[in-house]
C-alpha cells in the first residue's frame, strides 16, 4: 500500500520538477512513510512519484518500478493477490523481474497482454504505467474503487496531473484549489456525482476504468474506457430453478478464497470486528486459516443504542481472537479528530463514524499492525442495507400478497426507526430522471432528496443563481449507465445504483481507504474481490433477501462460524451516535460550530448565506422531532465539513 503522484506533459518539464513531485508526495506521506522515490524524464514530460508503505518485499520493492530493459515504468498503490502464479507463468515464458514485489507483475502482464492485462489483476489497486516505446501513459483503478485515484487536465490539455488523493493534485502549481459549487451542493445532500471531487477541475477516476493518454499535435489525447462492471444478469437470463445449497457452497468457497489470499503479507494481518455479520464471518473464517490467534479491533460507542461491541466480544471469544476495543466518547468524535478526518477524506460526511474509524486505524498502527481485513462490500453484494430491502418489498416481490408485503415493510420501519431521516426517508420521494432510468426512485437516494430540500435554501444568493438550472438528482442519474439496468430485477437495480454512487464515494472513502491510510494502515476488503462479486450477481434476488431476511445466502454460507444471536439478527446500520443524542456531544459540536459556522467564516467561504445558516442552527437547537433531528444532524456535519475543507485547502 502506498501513495502515487506525478504529471505528464507534451512539453519538456521545468527545472523544478523534482521539487514539485516532492511536494506532491509530501502531501500524502501518511499513505507511504517508508520511502519516497521518483522517476523523472524531463525530455519526455514524465514525472512518476511514489511514497511507500512496506507490506511485501522489504528489501527490493521500492517504486517506481521498471522493466529490465527500461522500456516501461510503473507505480502502484495497492495489492495484487494472484502475483505468485502470474510471476511463475511469466518467468516460464522468459520474462524476468528485478524485485519480489507483487506490483511488478503488472509490467510483465502488460507486456504480454497489452491493455487487457487489467483483466488478469486480482486485488485493489490504482496504477500509473508508462510505455516508453509508445510514449503513452495509462491510469487505471480497481473494479470497485477501493483505492482512490484523482486527476486534473490543464485547460489547454497539455498537462495531466494525478495523485492518490486530491491534495497531491492540488500540490502541483498549475492546479488551483477551489471548492466546486456543484460539488458543495452535492456534499450537503450527501450524494455526489460519480467521478466528482470537492475541487473544481479535479476528477476521480471511475472504478473499473482506465485512462489512456497519448500525445497528439501538442496536446494530450485522453480516452476513458471501462474494463469491468458489476454486471447482474437480466431476468430473462436467470435460470428458472436454482439449487439453494449449490449457491451457498459457491459463495462460501469464493469468500474463503478471497479471505485467505488477503491474509498473505510480509507483515502480520489483523481484522476489523464490529457486531455485524460481515466482519464477524471474516474473523471466523480467517481464524481457520491462520496459525495463531487473530488480532481483532472493535469500536465501542458510549450509547447502547448504537454500540455493537458486546456482540463483537462474543464473536471474538468464540474464535479465541485477541480483541482490542477502542471506547469512544464525545471528546473523541469531535474537536481536532473531526477536523483531521475531514482533511484526509477531502469530502464531507454525514456521521462521525468516519472519525471513529480514523481513530481505530490509529489504534491498529500503534499496536504494531499495518494491515487488516475488513467487511466493506458485503451489503453491496448481498443486499444488506435497509433501503435495498425497502425496494425489494416495494418493487421486487409483486407475486406476494399485499398483506405479506405490508408486514415486511412494517417490520423494516420498526427496526430501523433509529435511523429514519438518514438511512430511510419517512415519505416516498420520486424523481423523473430516476423513474426514467430505473422505473422507480431508489430508496437509498430518497432521504438525501429530503436533505437537499433543507440544504439548497442555504446557498449564497450568487451561488443559488449560478446553480438555478442545475438539478443534482438528475446529474447523478446521468452518470449511471442505463444499459446495466435494462431487464434487471428491481433489487439488482437498487444494488447497482447504490454501488456506483455510495460505495465508492462514501463507504470506501471516509469509511475505508482514506481513514485507514491516514494512519499508514492498509485495509483489505475480501467481499470486494471480483471473483466473489461475479458469483454474487448470479444469486437470485429471492436468496439475497429471503422473506424478511436480508443477506440470506451469506448467512447460510457462514452460519457455522457465527453466534446464534448474530445469525438471526437483522442488519443494524453501523453508525456513531449523532450529536443530538447527549449533552456532551452537543457541547463538543457546539465548539466546532463556533469555529467553522460563525457568520464571518461562512461569509469568507462564499458558498452559503451566513444569515440562513445561522437560522438553520437556531432551528436545529430548537428541534425535538427525532427524524428531523437525524436529518439535521447529517446536514450539520456536512456544513461543518464543507467549511473545514475551505479552511484547510482554500483559505
- The yes-or-no answer on residue 280 being catalytic is no
214 φ/ψ angles, rounded to the nearest 5 degrees = -125, 155
For residues 388 and 445, is the Cβ–Cβ distance under 8 A? no
Distance CA 367, CA 188 (A): 36
Of 79, 507, 551, 574, the C-alpha closest to 281 is 551
Degrees, nearest 5: CA angle 406-408-409? 65
Q: Which residues contact 233 (CB under 8 A, 6 or more apart)?
A: 488, 537, 538
* CA atoms of 312 and 272, how far apart (whole Å): 10
Nearest to 521 by CA among 349, 337, 366: 366
Q: Residue 354: which residues within 8 A CB-CB, separation 6 or more?
A: 341, 345, 510, 511, 515
Note the Cα 186 to chain centre separation in Å: 16
Tell me which of 2, 271, 371, 438 is the catalytic residue: 2
**Residue 447 C-beta-side C-alpha neighbours within 13 Å:** 23
**Exposure on the CB side of residue 115, measured as CA atoms within 13 A:** 17
From 440, 394, 447, select the one nearest 425 (Cα to Cα).
Answer: 447
CB 73 within 8 A of CB 130: yes
Cell reading at 504 = 465508492
* Residue 102 counted as an annotated binding residue: yes
- Within 8 A by CB and 6+ apart from 432, the residues are 474
Number of H helices, E strands in the chain: 28, 19
Residue 292 has a CB neighbour count (10 Å cut-off) of 9
Question: Residue 136 belongs to what H/E stretch?
Answer: strand 136-141
DSSP track, 26-80? HHTGGG-BSEEEEEEETTTTEEEEEEE--SS-TTT--SSEE-TTSSEEEEEEEEE
Dist. CA 344–CA 355, nearest whole Å = 10
Q: Which residues contact 462 (CB under 8 A, 6 or more apart)?
A: 606
160: β partners:
8, 153
Cβ within 8 Å of residue 286, ≥6 positions away = 259, 263, 271, 294, 373
How does DSSP classify residue 276? Answer: S
Query: Smallest Cα–Cα separation from 364: which of 256, 500, 271, 488?
Result: 271
How far is Cα 41 from Cα 18, in angstroms, rounded to an integer?
10
Q: Which residues are annotated as a binding site for ATP?
A: 299
Q: Which residues are annotated as a binding site for L-glutamine?
A: 102
Q: Which residues are annotated as a binding site?
A: 102, 299
Q: Which residues are known catalytic residues?
A: 2
Amino acid at each position: 500500500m502506498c501513495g502515487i503522484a506525478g504529471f505528464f506533459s507534451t512539453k519538456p518539464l521545468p527545472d523544478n520538477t523534482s521539487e514539485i513531485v516532492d511536494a506532491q508526495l509530501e502531501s500524502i506521506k501518511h499513505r507511504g512513510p517508508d520511502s519516497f522515490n521518483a522517476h523523472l524524464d524531463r525530455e519526455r514530460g514524465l514525472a512518476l512519484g511514489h511514497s511507500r508503505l512496506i507490506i511485501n518485499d522489504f528489501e527490493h520493492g521500492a517504486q517506481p518500478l521498471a522493466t529490465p530493459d527500461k522500456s516501461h515504468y510503473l507505480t502502484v498503490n495497492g495489492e495484487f493477490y494472484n502475483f505468485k502464479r502470474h510471476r511463475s507463468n511469466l518467468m516460464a515464458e522468459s520474462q524476468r523481474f528485478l524485485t519480489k514485489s507483487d506490483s511488478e507483475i503488472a509490467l510483465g502482464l502488460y507486456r504480454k497482454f497489452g491493455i487487457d492485462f487489467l483483466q488478469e489483476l486480482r486485488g485493489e489497486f490504482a496504477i500509473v504505467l508508462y510505455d516508453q516505446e509508445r510514449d503513452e501513459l495509462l491510469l487505471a483503478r480497481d473494479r470497485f474503487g477501493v483505492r482512490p485515484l484523482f486527476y486534473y487536465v490543464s485547460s489547454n490539455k497539455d498537462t495531466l496531473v494525478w495523485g492518490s488523493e486530491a491534495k497531491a493534485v492540488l500540490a502541483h502549481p498549475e492546479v488551483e484549489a477551489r471548492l466546486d459549487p456543484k460539488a458543495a451542493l452535492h456534499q450537503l445532500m450527501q450524494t455526489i456525482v460519480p467521478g466528482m471531487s470537492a475541487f473544481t477541475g479535479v476528477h476521480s477516476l471511475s472504478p473499473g476504468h482506465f485512462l489512456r493518454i497519448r500525445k497528439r499535435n501538442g496536446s494530450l489525447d485522453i480516452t476513458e474506457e471501462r474494463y469491468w462492471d458489476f454486471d447482474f444478469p437480466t431476468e430473462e437470463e436467470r435460470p428458472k430453478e436454482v439449487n439453494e445449497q449449490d449457491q451457498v457452497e459457491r459463495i462460501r468457497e469464493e469468500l474463503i478464497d478471497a479471505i485467505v489470499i488477503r491474509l498473505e503479507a510480509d507483515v502480520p494481518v489483523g481484522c476489523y470486528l464490529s457486531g455485524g455479520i460481515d466482519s464477524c464471518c471474516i474473523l471466523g473464517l480467517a481464524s481457520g486459516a491462520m496459525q495463531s490467534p487473530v488480532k481483532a479491533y472493535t469500536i465501542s460507542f458510549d450509547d447502547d443504542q448504537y454500540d455493537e461491541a458486546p456482540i463483537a466480544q462474543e464473536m471474538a471469544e468464540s474464535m479465541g481472537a485477541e480483541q482490542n476495543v477502542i471506547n469512544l466518547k464525545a471528546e473523541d468524535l469531535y474537536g481536532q479528530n473531526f477536523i483531521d478526518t475531514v482533511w484526509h477524506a477531502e469530502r464531507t460526511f454525514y456521521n462521525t463514524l468516519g472519525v471513529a474509524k480514523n481513530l481505530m486505524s490509529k489504534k491498529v498502527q500503534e499496536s504494531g499492525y499495518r494491515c487488516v481485513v475488513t467487511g466493506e462490500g458485503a451489503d453491496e453484494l448481498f443486499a444488506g442495507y435497509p433501503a435495498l430491502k425497502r425496494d425489494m418489498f416495494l418493487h421486487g416481490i409483486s407475486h406476494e400478497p399485499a398483506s405479506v408485503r405490508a408486514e415486511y415493510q412494517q417490520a423494516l420501519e420498526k427496526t430501523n426507526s433509529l435511523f429514519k431521516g438518514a438511512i430511510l426517508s419517512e415519505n416516498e420521494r420520486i424523481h423523473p430522471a430516476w423513474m426514467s432510468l430505473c422505473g422507480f426512485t431508489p430508496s437509498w437516494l430518497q432521504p438525501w432528496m429530503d436533505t437537499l430540500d433543507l440544504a439548497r435554501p442555504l446557498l449564497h444568493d450568487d451561488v443559488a443563481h449560478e446553480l438555478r438550472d442545475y438539478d443534482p438528482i438528475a446529474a447523478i442519474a446521468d452518470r449511471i449507465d442505463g444499459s446495466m439496468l435494462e431487464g434487471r430485477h428491481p433489487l439488482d437495480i437498487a444494488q447497482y445504483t447504490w454501488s456506483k454512487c455510495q460505495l465508492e464515494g462514501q463507504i470506501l472513502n471516509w469509511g475505508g481507504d482514506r481513514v485507514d491510510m491516514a494512519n499508514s494502515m492498509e485495509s483489505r476488503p475480501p467481499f470486494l474481490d471480483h471473483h466473489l462479486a461475479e458469483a454474487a450477481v448470479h444469486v437470485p434476488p429471492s436468496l439475497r433477501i429471503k422473506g424478511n431476511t436480508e443477506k440470506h445466502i451469506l448467512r447460510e454460507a457462514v452460519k457455522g462460524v457465527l453466534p446464534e444471536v448474530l445469525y438471526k439478527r437483522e442488519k443494524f446500520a453501523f453508525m456513531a451516535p449523532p450529536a443530538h443524542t447527549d449533552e456532551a456531544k452537543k457541547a463538543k459540536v457546539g465548539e466546532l460550530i463556533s469555529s467553522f459556522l460563525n457568520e464571518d467564516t461562512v461569509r469568507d467561504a462564499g458558498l452559503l448565506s451566513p444569515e440562513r445558516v445561522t437560522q438553520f442552527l437556531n432551528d436545529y437547537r430548537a428541534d425535538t422531532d427525532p427524524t428531523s433531528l437525524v436529518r439535521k444532524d447529517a446536514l450539520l456535519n456536512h456544513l461543518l465539513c464543507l467549511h473545514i475543507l475551505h479552511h484547510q485547502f482554500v483559505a
